[in-house]
Amino acid sequence: MPEFPTSIGTSDPTTIRLLGHDLAGELLGQVGFGELAFWLAARRRPSAGEVRLFEAVLVSLTDHGFTPTAIAARLTYYSAPDSVQGALAAGILGGGSRFLGVTEDTGRWLHRVLEGLDDAESRSDDDWDAVALEAVRAARAAGEKVPGIGHPVHKEADPRVPVMFAIAEDSGSLGAHLRLFAAVGRVHEQVLGRRLPLNGAGVAGAALADLGLPIELLRAFALLARTAGLIGHLAEERESPIAPAVYAEVDRNAVYVPLPDAGSA
């Protein structure tokens, strides 16, 4: 018989094992969901400080009001109330370069800048500023955006950012990605000509990267957090629906615009 190796979970008629532990006897009631999610992705059990920062990231990304992802979930639930999975999927599928995907984009960008950088732990703020300035200039020269700065709502400052930095430092998890991200916040105005706030999705990506989680999976954690928020939106939609009004507002105000005359074939 072929074998299919896994370090995640297995079961037999009497037991369920997860990450090598008896689910019923060793994990239920003893391991929190955040710790378990970290453990599954990192393939190692996190410290208490790492769990604290990781769960802070999840809380910070849970909801941001009537974003396109939340509206999509609510409209899909209105259209198909028998398919809660469809509504959740509709919201999750909207996680991309403008919403939620910034978490991954920022973590990837910071990680790329840090590759090959020696003695990261011993660098001063001035050293980090020099590294950040060079990276921002390189991004600008290449016509690329620097991810993690600017926000459509929080024009002056994102209230999540200083709290996340404080939790990272207090939990012993403030590493090179967060230090570089802070430096980007200090120096980018020299290159871009205007000051933009560091945003919550960006600091979340930096924190997740400092926690040693797989860079390729950073968006997955943003989606994990937002799933809880979408469940909240669907629960509220059941009691105080806004989807019918959104649908009616758009549908009743649709204006037909003739196609431009492309000439005869």
pLDDT digits (tens, 9 = 90+) for 108-128: 999 999 997 877 777 888 999
pLDDT at 184: 97
Asked: is 101-213 a CATH 3.90.226.10 domain? The reply is no
Query: What does residue 76 show for φ and ψ, rounded to 5 degrees?
Result: -65, -40
Q: Would you state the pLDDT for residue 151?
A: 83
Mean pLDDT of the 193-207 span = 94
Give the per-residue pLDDT at 33: 96
CA distances from 214 to 35, 170, 205 (A): 16, 23, 11
- List all residues 6 or more positions away from 10 whose beta carbon is below 8 Å from its beta carbon: 16, 17
pLDDT value, residue 173: 94
The answer, yes or no, to whether residue 237 has pLDDT greater than 70, is yes
pLDDT at 1: 86
- Report the predicted TM-score, pTM, of the whole model to 2 decimal places: 0.91
Give per-residue pLDDT as tens, 5-39: 999 999 999 999 999 999 999 999 999 999 999 99
Predicted pLDDT of residue 186: 96
Q: Residue 265 has what pLDDT?
A: 56
Does pLDDT of 98 surpass 90? no
pLDDT tens column, 35-83: 999 999 999 999 999 999 999 999 999 998 999 999 999 999 999 999 9
Run of H or E residues at 176: helix 176-192
Average pLDDT, the chain: 93
Q: Long-range contacts of range 239-246, CB-CB < 8 Å, 24 or more positions apart?
A: 241/74, 241/78, 242/66, 242/74, 243/74, 243/75, 243/77, 243/78, 244/78, 246/71, 246/74, 246/75
pLDDT score, position 262: 64
Q: Where are the domains of the chain?
A: 8-45, 101-213
Lowest-confidence region among 132-141, 149-158, 201-210: 149-158
Say what angle helices 218-239 and 33-42 make with each other, to 10 degrees. Answer: 150
The pLDDT confidence band at residue 264, using thresholds 50, 70 and 90, is low
Is the Cβ–Cβ distance between 110 and 139 less than 8 Å? no
- The string of DSSP letters for 29-78 reads TTS-HHHHHHHHHHSSPPPHHHHHHHHHHHHHTS--SS-HHHHHHHHHHH
